[in-house]
Amino acid sequence: MFEDYAQLQSHVLCAQDFEVLAQTKIDDALFAYLSGGSGQEHSLKRNLDAFNEMTLTPNSLENVADGNSHWHYQEQRFSAPIILAPVAHQTLLHADGERACAQAAEALEQGMVLSTLSGYSLEDVADAANGWKAFQLYAQPRQQDSFDLIHRAHQAGYQAVVITVDAPVQQVSLQARHLGFKLPPEKPINLRPYDDLPTPKIKPDESYIFQGIMAQALNWKTLQNLMDYSRQLGLKVWVKGVLDPKQAQKLQTMGADALIVSNHGGRALDSAISSLEALPTIRQSVGPEMTLLLDSGIRSGQDIFKALASGADAVLVGRLQAYALGVAGALGVAHLLKLLTEELQLTMALCGCSNLQDIRMINLGDNNDV
């Protein structure tokens, strides 16, 4: 699509341009799968509205000549508070799939979370790049298999496990299904070592959802086991998919190292509140020290500023990552991270913020109902 980086740069002027280009480049059904949300897409829309309606007050007379957008997490320093979100099946988008994303993240000094449902094995992706990486875990029906995945991630050098708790049921968007989109039929590569559980027998009076899917779903008890196992290996444990302040406090008590405030990009519970709406209350409930990340709705570097101003330490970027990968592979993702960082830094400069801590201290004023 683009012959060199100069050409890419001249076409992709802001992060959202990747979405426009992706619509042209990516197959319609696949694009519908990527861009769509669950149900009637209420949450998908709400995610964007929440960011778009939030206002800022400029203050560009502060001296920010020694500014930076560094995010420090444990010993790691990221050039900006941006993590590539776990996006499944990336080889559908580009032959280099998750390896490309890992390389882009390393090059830009950002982090990456690899999906359980990756196109390349977690070991292959670890081999592709040396940057900070976490492994996203969908709890497996057999706890032992989850343990094994965690163990493999640890062996391969991942530094954290990100346990997703909001999507026991994964729904492909209605539009994608109407367009005939189907997920790849073969078993995801990371899961091939594990035998399938026999499909649960649903009795006539039982429910496919309660006695079927949910009988194998992650619950509080299993989650505690997975967290304990991960921490014994020295892995950090992040929990992804939190919107409820009480749930956040419980996860904090259970020992989570970070929480990801997310509605799964509008792909899990339709009508879920947006992450940005949920964030301030959750920050209040867990206190100022707990690491909080925001996922769902980030479409620009300014959105990252808004997330931090609302209480986040960093953000995850899903759809934009997928679009950039589909449009231009590793180079696309790298350019995306560069644009997001610049957009964030520009907003910081115009708001008089020298560093991420300054963002947390700004007064949002009365114009934000969020």
Q: Which active-site residues does the annotation give?
A: 264
Q: Among the candidate windows 100-108, 229-237, 243-251, 286-294, which touches its own copies by CB under 8 A? A: 243-251
CB of 243 to its own copies, least distance (A): 5
272 near its own copies, judged by CB under 8 A: yes
Q: Which residues of 151-186 are buried (b: 16+ CB within 10 A; e: fewer)?
A: ebbbebebbbbbbbbbbbeebbbebbeebebeeeee
Does 230 interact with its own copies (rule: CB under 8 A)?
no
Cβ 234 to its own copies, closest distance in Å?
Answer: 25
Distance CA 66, CA 28 (A): 46
Query: Which neighbouring-strand residues pair with 160?
Result: 134, 236
223 by DSSP, 3-state: which? Answer: helix
Q: Is 319 annotated as a binding residue?
A: yes
CA-based nearest residue to 175, from 296, 16, 28, 24: 28
Stretch that binds its own copies, among 29-37, 152-160, 268-276, 287-295 (CB under 8 A): 268-276
Among 170, 247, 249, 291, binds its own copies (CB under 8 A): 247
Instruction: Choose which of 156, 179, 183, 349 interacts with its own copies (CB under 8 A).
Output: 349
The one-letter code for the residue type at 132 is W
3-state SS class at 236: strand
Give backbone dihedrals phi and psi of 167, rounded to 5 degrees, phi first. Answer: -135, 55
Contact predicate 267/37, CB 8 Å = yes
Check binding of 6 to its own copies (CB under 8 A): no
Among 9, 29, 42, 142, binds its own copies (CB under 8 A): 42
Binding site annotation covers 88? yes
**In the set 129, 218, 294, 328, which binds its own copies (CB under 8 A)?**
218
Tell me the C-alpha distance between 150 and 77, whole Å. 24
Which residue number, 7 or 59, has a Cβ lying nearer to its own copies?
A: 59
- Is residue 5 within the footprint of its own copies (CB under 8 A)? no
Stretch that binds its own copies, among 60-68, 119-127, 230-238, 312-320 (CB under 8 A): 60-68
Pick out the residues of the known binding site for glyoxylate.
33, 138, 264, 267
